[in-house]
Amino acid sequence: MSAFDYFKRLGYERWEFQRDISNATVADTITLRTPSSGKRVAVTNLVIASPINGSIAFYFQGASQLQRKILEVRGTSASTTIHPLIQSLECTAVDIPLLVRVNVGMTDGWSVTGEGFDVD
């Protein structure tokens, strides 16, 4: 059973996000998903489009939790789409957002699309 089916069968409501991240935002960490109060983020699908060189990293971090990198993807020299094979990227602490940061080696913007659930 996939993580998507698992969380869906437990009755959690699915959410989606799509963010375009350009060179103008490389110095910042961007919040992709903040869970509902008292919940944890579980990402069950992730698509990263148009990564030309550079890298993109995903983190979980809260006010009382150190930043923890959970996934880093490096782009290729040509425009492409990356579908990381993940079952679930699930935070173990409540009320911790999913963050993303790109490095300054980028030449074009990244498009990040994902879906998942806020879980107990």
CA–CA distance, 59 with 54 (Å, rounded to integer): 17
Q: How far is CA 49 from CA 4, 71, 85, 95, 113, in A?
A: 21, 16, 14, 28, 8
Whole-number Å distance between alpha carbons of 27 and 30: 9
Nearest C-alpha neighbor of 61 from the set 84, 104, 92: 92
Select, from the ranges 57-66, 69-78, 94-103, 105-114, the one with the highest average predicted confidence (pLDDT).
Answer: 94-103
CA–CA separation, 51 vs 73, rounded Å?
A: 9
Amino acid letter at 30? I
22: tokens are 């350009």
pLDDT tens sequence across 23-78: 666 667 888 899 999 999 999 999 888 766 778 889 998 776 667 788 888 877 66
